Structure 1
């Protein structure tokens, strides 16, 4: 969240007049396990309250798997609750979750069959797949990189992603989710994977940026950020 989303908003500033400031409040989590994710999610109300003190215009909840591990459809509950926190603080603002943003992005792209790359351990990856399939998307193929240390997720080299995708069966998929995690870097490889596969590519960070721009009532266009932010949608 704190690297690729600001990078995309900075790229947008090169082609559009709007300017952005970025504010963050952190929920603690060191290892990507179900217990730590639940403990992290419990801190989200505090973060929403802190950020609303800054009178921000939109809030983005970064961790996709934290939401998806809490049960099907939880992104709707989380977004509603956190928006209420901002309203109670006298600074109402829309809330975008990366989980909800990815689900909505796939709907906007009319992607019913997808391939997914995720950094998570296999059981958590299965939760992510089940969550998306409960939203009407079929995960045809996937790669679980099985990185549990959150800092190592952030340190994963995006240059590895084209090779990982090459190992997946992408025949007949409508889109590729190159990173089902805002923590795992992927932006640098999005255009390459689109060129190599001929498929539209989206990531959790790209989807979150799209929904944040829509919430701000701004044109969701960012150069070099894949099909969703190309202006086609």
Structure 2
């Protein structure tokens, strides 16, 4: 997590809600539904208000070529989103960052923060890739099992990235979907059954969705309650880091212990 704090950003005035900028793939349909839902629960618990402002970079199929092309648009999207004078920017394409190799989230966050500063609107910056590995480390998790929508080579790449951050991936299920719109149509109600089939012996947490596009919010609490392990997703980890960047204490119900506060 990096960036440049804005005066007053952690609590925008009563007349100005906190502004959250999102950079998402053009075909993404999930982050702009799950994050607002999570922040609506935060608002209900705290009275704080949030609005969302998105920039989009072209991505239709989850291939290495399209992912790398999307990365090239990140700074441009960051500058456009910062025009809204947002308080924080979330770079919400986990696999695009991870495709560049372990640890790359730090450089991506630096470039996005610089683009916002150069545009005259500095903002805190988090990435979904960085949020996932930092959150797992921060809650003391050293071994995970995970579910991804990706084809197996991409899942292996994500596992390698997570392991490059010092977290062992004990088991991973690939759903083998490469069309990003189709990923967004996957049924989150299927996730508890898939999670039951993971090898959980020795696991300290479950990554229920290692993808910002795979819907999972509806299943997070159910899987955590049933299997007894902390459940983290790309969306909940991103939300957690956005709140931390703003100086806001999580108070979100029904989305796992990470966000319960």
TM-score (norm 2): 0.87
* Contact 2:236-2:255 within 8 A present in 1 as well: yes
* Cα distance between partner residues in 1 of 2:198 and 2:207: 12
In the other structure, the counterpart of 1:57 is 87
Asked whether 1:201 is paired with 2:210, we answer: no
Match of 2:54 among 7, 24, 27: 24
Counterpart-to-counterpart distance in 1, 2:218 and 2:201: 23
SS of alignment partner, residue 96 of structure 1: strand
For residue 145 of structure 2, what is the aligned residue in structure 1? 115
Deviation of the 1:220 alpha carbon: 2.1
State TM-score, norm by structure 1.
Answer: 0.98
Q: Which residue of 2 aligns with 1:84?
A: 114
**Aligned counterpart for 2:172 among listed residues 139, 142, 147:** 142
Q: CA deviation at 1:35?
A: 0.3
Tell me, yes or no, if the aligned pair for 1:202 and 1:227 is still in contact at 8 Å. no
Quick one: which of 16, 28, 35 aligns to 1:5? Answer: 35
Equivalent-residue separation in structure 2 for 1:108 and 1:228 (angstroms): 11
Q: Does 1:170 align with 2:200?
A: yes
Contact in 2 for aligned 1:32/1:148 (Cα 8 Å): yes
Is the contact between residue 42 and residue 250 of structure 2 (CA under 8 Å) also seen in structure 1? no
Q: Distance in 1 between matches of 2:37 and 2:101?
A: 31
Structure 1 Cα separation of the partners of residues 250 and 77 of structure 2: 26
Partner SS, residue 146 of structure 2: strand
- The Cα of 1:221 is off from its aligned counterpart by 2.4
Q: Which runs of 5+ in 2 are unaligned?
A: 1-30
Stretches of structure 1 lacking an aligned partner (at least 5 in a row):
none
- Matches of 1:167 and 1:137, distance apart in 2: 21
Distance in 2 separating the partners of 1:19 and 1:94: 17
Q: CA deviation at 1:163?
A: 0.7
Q: 8 Å contact 1:116–1:142 — kept in the other structure?
A: yes
Q: Deviations over 1:72-119 (max 9, x none)?
A: 111000001110110111110011100000001101211101000001
1:169 Cα deviation after fit? 1.0
RMSD between superposed Cα atoms in Å = 0.7
